C-alpha cells in the first residue's frame, strides 16, 4: 500500500473502534472506487464492528461507510442530503455537464470527499452531499458557468432514481471479465487487458486486476473514466458452446 492508502485504512479502523467503544454509528467521508477497494480488501476481523456502505441511492458509485454496533445495525440513518440544482431561467440555461457542476461546487472551497455522486436528470442536477454542508451549498451556489441557479433540499426518503440503461446482448466464449468488457466497450482485447492490469476495473467496488476473473449475475463492473455496467446473466448457449449474455450498460 502507498502511504495515503495506509492512512485511510487506519482511519477506517479507528472509526470502527470508536463505534464499538461508544456504542454509536460512525461514518466516513464519501469514498471513491479506489478507497472502497481498501475497505473491502481489509480483513473483516480487523474491524471492531460490522459495516455497510451507501451513497444516497441504489447503485451509487461514491459511498459512505457506516460502522455500526449490533444494536444500531438496522436503525441508523446516513448523514446525507440530496440537493436539487436548477437553472433560474431554463430558457436561457446552458447545457451544463457533470464537470461544470463539480467545478462550481469545488470552487466554493468544499473538498471532493464531502460530495457524493452528481446525477444529471432532465436539465437539473442532483447532488449528494454531507448533511452538514447542505445549507452552505444552498446559500452559496448561485452560478454555474454563465447560468444562474438555485439549490433546494430534496426529501431523501422519497427521492428515487432509475438510471438510464442500454441493453447489450452478445455471445462470449466465457463470462470472464475481459470477455464481458470487450462486449460492452468497443476496444480490442489488447487494449482492455492493460485497463484491468492497470487498476482501472472494479467489480462491486473491489479492484480486480486479473482478466480471467469470472463475473457473477448482478455484479456491477466499473471502469474508471469509461463507465459501468451490470451483468444480468446468460440467456442461452449456442451449439458451439458460446454464451449469449445480457448486460445493462449505464448511460
- Note the pLDDT of residue 189: 77
- Note the pLDDT of residue 192: 86
Q: Is the dihedral of CA 147, 150, 152, 158 positive or negative?
A: negative
Helix (H, G, I), strand (E, B) or coil at 210: coil
Q: Which residues of 208-235 are buried (b: 16+ CB within 10 A; e: fewer)?
A: beebebebeeebbbbbeeeebbbbbeee
- Note the pLDDT of residue 129: 98
Please state the φ and ψ torsions of residue 168, each to the nearest 5 degrees.
-120, 120
Task: Say what the pTM is.
Answer: 0.84
152 close to 83: Cβ distance less than 8 angstroms:
yes
Is the pLDDT confidence value at 71 over 80? no
For the chain, percent helix, then strand, then coil, each to nearest 5? Answer: 30, 35, 35
- Note the pLDDT of residue 1: 63
**How confident is the model over 201-220, as a mean pLDDT?**
92
Side-chain-side CA neighbours of residue 111 (13 Å):
8
Is the pLDDT confidence value at 73 over 80? no
The whole-angstrom separation of Cα 239 and Cα 60 is 38
52 beta partners: 66
**How confident is the model over 65-74, as a mean pLDDT?**
86
Nearest residue to 144 via CA among 201, 83, 97, 200: 97
Residue 236 carries which DSSP code?
A: E
Helices vs. strands in the chain: H and E counts, helices first? 6, 14
The whole-angstrom separation of Cα 169 and Cα 247 is 6
The whole-angstrom separation of Cα 188 and Cα 198 is 16
> What is the average pLDDT score of the chain?
93
Amino acid at each position: 500500500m502507498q502511504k495515503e492508502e495506509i492512512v485511510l485504512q487506519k482511519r477506517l479502523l479507528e472509526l470502527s473502534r470508536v463505534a464499538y467503544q461508544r456504542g454509536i454509528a460512525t461514518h466516513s467521508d464519501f469514498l471513491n472506487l479506489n478507497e472502497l477497494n481498501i475497505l473491502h480488501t481489509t480483513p473483516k476481523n480487523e474491524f471492531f464492528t460490522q459495516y455497510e456502505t451507501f451513497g444516497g441511492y441504489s447503485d451509487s458509485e461514491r459511498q459512505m461507510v457506516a460502522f455500526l454496533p449490533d444494536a444500531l445495525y438496522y436503525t441508523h440513518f446516513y448523514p446525507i442530503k440530496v440537493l436539487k440544482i436548477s437553472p433560474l431561467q431554463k430558457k436561457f440555461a446552458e447545457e451544463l455537464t457533470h464537470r461544470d457542476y463539480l467545478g462550481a461546487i469545488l470552487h466554493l472551497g468544499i473538498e471532493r470527499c464531502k460530495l457524493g455522486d452528481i446525477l444529471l436528470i432532465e436539465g437539473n442536477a442532483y447532488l449528494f452531499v454531507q448533511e452538514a454542508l447542505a445549507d452552505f451549498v444552498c446559500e452559496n451556489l448561485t452560478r454555474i458557468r454563465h447560468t444562474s441557479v438555485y439549490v433546494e433540499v430534496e426529501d431523501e426518503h422519497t427521492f428515487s432514481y432509475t438510471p438510464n440503461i442500454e441493453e447489450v446482448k452478445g455471445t462470449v466464449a466465457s463470462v470472464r471479465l475481459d470477455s464481458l468488457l470487450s462486449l460492452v466497450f468497443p476496444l480490442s482485447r489488447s487494449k482492455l487487458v492493460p485497463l484491468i492490469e492497470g487498476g482501472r476495473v472494479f467489480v462491486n467496488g473491489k479492484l480486480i486486476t486479473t482478466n480471467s476473473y469470472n463475473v457473477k449475475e448482478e455484479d456491477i463492473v466499473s471502469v474508471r473514466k469509461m463507465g459501468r455496467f451490470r451483468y444480468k446473466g446468460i440467456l442461452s448457449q449456442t451449439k458451439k458452446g458460446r454464451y449469449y449474455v445480457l448486460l445493462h450498460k449505464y448511460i
